[in-house]
Amino acid sequence: MKLTRRNFLKLVGALGASTFISTYKFELQEVFAQAGDYWHICWLEGADCAGCTISFAQAVEPDFISVLTEITVGTSGLPIALPDYHETIHPASGSLLEEMKKETWMKAGKKVLVIEGAVQNEGFCTVGGVDFREHVKEAAEVADAIVAVGQCATFGGIPSGSPNPSGAMGVSKFLKQVGINKPVINLPCCPAHPDHILLTLAAVMLGAMPELDKYGRPKVFFGKNMHDELCPYRPYYDRGIFKTTPGGEGCRFKMGCKGPVTWTDCALRKWNNHVSFCNETNVCLGCAEPGWPDKFSPFYKEVTGLPGIFGVSAEKLGEGLVGASIGISAIHLAKRLATKGRKKEEKEG
Amino acid sequence: MATVVVDPVTRIEGHLGINMETKDITTKTGTWTIVDKAYCLTNMFRGFEIILKGRDPRDAYFITPRICGVCHAVHAEAAMQALDHAYGVNPPPAAVLIRNIMFGAFYCYDHMIHTYLLVGPELGILAKYPPMVPPVLGKEGIAKLNLGSSYATCVEMQRIANEVVALWGGKAPFPVCEYPGGVTVKPTLDRIAGTIARMSKVWHFAANTMYKDILALREASKHVGEVVSSLLDINFRGFEDLGPAYPYKLSYGLFPDHENYDDWVALQNGERGRRKSAVIHAGAWDGDFKDFELSKIKEYVKYSKSADYSGGLHPSEGQTNPNPNKEGAYAWAKAPRYDDKPYEVGPFARMVNTFGLDWTFEATNPVTGESVKFEWKVMNPEGSVIDRVASRVAQTILFSTKVMEWTVELIQYLNDKIVHDKTNNFTYVPDNAEGYGLVEAPRGALLHYTNIKNRKIAKYQCIVPSTWNLGPRDDMDQPGPVEKALENTWLPKLTVPEVANALYEGWGDTLAGALVKLNPLYAKLNMEGEYNTTLPLAIVRSFDPCIACGVHIITK
Question: At B456, which CATH number?
Answer: 1.10.645.10
Contacts of A79 in chain B (CB under 8 A): 138
List all residues 6 or more positions away from A131 whose beta carbon is below 8 Å from its beta carbon.
Answer: A122, A123, A125
**Nearest one of A215, A135, A210, A207 to A170, comparing CA atoms:** A215
Q: Is residue A318 pLDDT above 60, yes or no? A: no
Report yes or no on B473 lying in a domain. yes
Share of residues in chain A with pLDDT > 90 (%): 47
Q: Does B176 touch chain A (CB under 8 A)?
A: yes
Contacts of B518 in chain A (CB under 8 A): 78, 82
- B456-463 and B444-453: which strand pairing? antiparallel
CA distance linking residue B33 with residue B278, whole number of Å: 45
Q: Please count the other Cβ atoms lying within 10 Å of the Cβ belonging to residue B100.
A: 26
Q: Please name the residue ranges forming H helices in B114-148.
A: 120-126, 138-145
Predicted pLDDT at B555: 26
**What tens digit of pLDDT does each residue of A58-99 get?**
887 666 666 666 655 555 555 655 678 888 878 888 888 889
Q: Does A29 touch chain B (CB under 8 A)?
A: no
Contacts of B137 in chain A (CB under 8 A): 77
List all residues 6 or more positions away from B187 whose beta carbon is below 8 Å from its beta carbon.
Answer: B94, B97, B98, B410, B413, B414, B418
Average pLDDT over residues A182-189: 97
Predicted pLDDT at A73: 54
Q: Does B193 touch chain A (CB under 8 A)?
A: no
* A73 within 8 A of A80, measured Cβ to Cβ: yes
Average pLDDT over residues A335-348: 46
Give just the sign of the alpha carbon dihedral B379, B383, B384, B385.
positive
Average pLDDT value for chain A: 82
Q: Does B51 touch chain A (CB under 8 A)?
A: yes
Instruction: Calculate ∠ Cα A141-A145-A149, nearest 5°.
Output: 105
Q: Is residue A311 pLDDT above 80, yes or no? A: no
Instruction: Kindly indicate the confidence band of residue A18, based on its pLDDT and cuts at 50, 70 and 90.
Output: low
Assign domain A8-221 to its CATH superfamily: NADH:ubiquinone oxidoreductase-like, 20kDa subunit (3.40.50.700)
Side chain identity, residue A279: N
On the question of a cis peptide bond just before residue A83, with omega within 30 degrees of 0, the verdict is no
* B86 within 8 A of B434, measured Cβ to Cβ: yes
Report yes or no on B266 lying in a domain. yes
Residues of A known to be catalytic: 49, 52, 152, 190, 227, 231, 251, 257, 266, 278, 284, 287
Is B220 exposed, middle or buried (CB count within 10 Å of its CB: 0-12, 13-18, 19+)? buried
On the question of a cis peptide bond just before residue B554, with omega within 30 degrees of 0, the verdict is yes
CA distance linking residue B440 with residue B244, whole number of Å: 21
Compute the CA torsion angle B390, B394, B396, B399 (nearest 10 deg): -150
Q: Does A78 touch chain B (CB under 8 A)?
A: yes
Query: Quick one: DSSP state of residue B480?
Result: P
Side chain identity, residue B484: K
CA distance linking residue B104 with residue B402, whole number of Å: 8
Q: CA dist B363 to B112, B203, B360, B460, Å? A: 18, 9, 10, 39
**Nearest one of B396, B411, B374, B350 to B105, comparing CA atoms:** B396
Q: Does B139 touch chain A (CB under 8 A)?
A: yes
Task: Considering only the beta carbons, identify the residue of A57, A69, A89 that sits closest to B138.
Answer: A69
Q: What part of A 53-72 touches B (C-beta under 8 Å)? A: 53-55, 57-58, 60, 63-65, 69-70, 72
Average pLDDT over residues A182-210: 89
Contacts of B162 in chain A (CB under 8 A): 58, 272
Question: With an 8 Å Cβ cutoff, are B174 and A254 in contact?
Answer: no
Q: What is the CATH number of domain A226-348?
A: 4.10.480.10
Task: Considering only the beta carbons, identify the residue of A89, A127, A281 that sits closest to B43.
Answer: A127
Question: With an 8 Å Cβ cutoff, are B176 and A281 in contact?
Answer: yes
CA distance linking residue A113 with residue A143, whole number of Å: 6
Higher pLDDT, A125 or B161: B161
Predicted pLDDT at A29: 66
Predicted pLDDT at A22: 66
Query: Quick one: DSSP state of residue B208?
Result: I
CA distance linking residue B109 with residue B113, whole number of Å: 6
**Rounded to 5 degrees, what are φ and ψ at A265?**
-100, 20
Q: Does B442 touch chain A (CB under 8 A)?
A: no
B87: alpha, beta or left? (left if phi > 0; alpha if psi -120 to 50): alpha
Best residue in A41, A120, A281 to probe B by mutation, most B CBs within 10 Å?
A281
Give the domain extent around B443.
61-489
Identify the three-state secondary structure at position B527.
Answer: strand
Tell me the shortest Cα–Cα distance from B56 to chain A, in angstroms. 6
Q: CA dist B510 to A97, B137, B506, B507, Å? A: 22, 12, 6, 5
* Residue ranges in chain B whose pLDDT is less than 70: 43, 319-320, 548-556
Helices B72-87 and B93-113, interaxial angle, to 10°?
A: 150
Tell me the shortest Cα–Cα distance from A8 to chain B, in angstroms. 27
CA distance linking residue B454 with residue B458, whole number of Å: 8
> For the stretch B183-202, what's the b/e string if a residue is b when 16 or more beta carbons lie within 10 angstroms of its beta carbon?
bbbbbeeebbebbbebbbeb
Q: CA dist B104 to B91, B250, B375, Å? A: 17, 20, 21
Half-sphere exposure of B122 (CA within 13 A, CB side): 29
Predicted pLDDT at A207: 78
Q: What part of B 496-525 touches A (C-beta under 8 Å)? A: 515, 517-519, 521-522, 524-525
On the question of a cis peptide bond just before residue A183, with omega within 30 degrees of 0, the verdict is no
The count of residues in chain B is: 556
CA distance linking residue B241 with residue B180, whole number of Å: 45
Q: What part of A 110-169 touches B (C-beta under 8 Å)? A: 120, 123-129, 132, 157-159, 161-166, 168
Rg (CA), chain B: 23
Q: Does A183 touch chain B (CB under 8 A)?
A: no
Q: What part of B 285-324 touches A (C-beta under 8 Å)? A: 322, 324
Task: Considering only the beta carbons, identify the residue of B9, B163, B186 that sits closest to A272.
Answer: B163
Q: Does A76 touch chain B (CB under 8 A)?
A: no
Higher pLDDT, A30 or B259: B259
CB pairs under 8 A between A and B: 267
Q: Does A307 touch chain B (CB under 8 A)?
A: no
Tell me the shortest Cα–Cα distance from B30 to chain A, in angstroms. 28
Best residue in A282, A284, A297 to probe B by mutation, most B CBs within 10 Å?
A282
Average pLDDT over residues A283-292: 95
Task: Considering only the beta carbons, identify the residue of A86, A123, A272 that sits closest to B172.
Answer: A272
Half-sphere exposure of A147 (CA within 13 A, CB side): 25
Q: Is residue A349 pLDDT above 60, yes or no? A: no
Q: Does B43 touch chain A (CB under 8 A)?
A: yes
Report yes or no on B341 lying in a domain. yes
Q: Does B234 touch chain A (CB under 8 A)?
A: no
**Nearest one of A170, A166, A155, A163 to A291, comparing CA atoms:** A155
Query: Quick one: DSSP state of residue B234?
Result: S
The count of residues in chain A is: 349
Task: Considering only the beta carbons, identify the residue of B47, B117, B168 that sits closest to A165.
Answer: B47
Question: With an 8 Å Cβ cutoff, are B69 and A95 in contact?
Answer: no
**Rounded to 5 degrees, what are φ and ψ at A278?**
-55, -40
Tell me the shortest Cα–Cα distance from B357 to chain A, in angstroms. 32
A264: alpha, beta or left? (left if phi > 0; alpha if psi -120 to 50): beta
Q: Is residue A34 pLDDT above 80, yes or no? A: no
* A253 within 8 A of A260, measured Cβ to Cβ: yes
Q: How far is Cα of residue B443 from the mean position of the Cα atoms in its chain?
A: 1
Contacts of A48 in chain B (CB under 8 A): 69, 548
Query: Where do the structural domains in chain A lie, given as residue ranges?
Result: 8-221, 226-348
Predicted pLDDT at A333: 55
Identify the three-state secondary structure at position B304.
Answer: strand
Sequential DSSP letters for A43-86: EEESB--SHHHHHHTT-TTTTHHHHHHTSBSTTS-SBSEEEEEE
Tell me the shortest Cα–Cα distance from B359 to chain A, in angstroms. 30
- A145-149 and A111-116: which strand pairing? parallel
Report yes or no on B458 lying in a domain. yes
If one counts the domains in chain B, the total is 1
- A112-116, A158-162, A330-334, B175-179: which range is least confident on average? A330-334
CA distance linking residue A134 with residue A130, whole number of Å: 7
Report yes or no on B216 lying in a domain. yes
Q: CA dist B507 to A92, B126, B222, B501, B513, Å? A: 19, 10, 17, 5, 10
* A116 within 8 A of A150, measured Cβ to Cβ: yes
Q: Does A337 touch chain B (CB under 8 A)?
A: no
**Nearest one of A54, A59, A55, A85 to A70, comparing CA atoms:** A59
Question: With an 8 Å Cβ cutoff, are B174 and A166 in contact?
Answer: no
Side chain identity, residue B431: D
* B102 within 8 A of B89, measured Cβ to Cβ: no
Tell me the shortest Cα–Cα distance from A7 to chain B, in angstroms. 30
Question: With an 8 Å Cβ cutoff, are B66 and A51 in contact?
Answer: yes
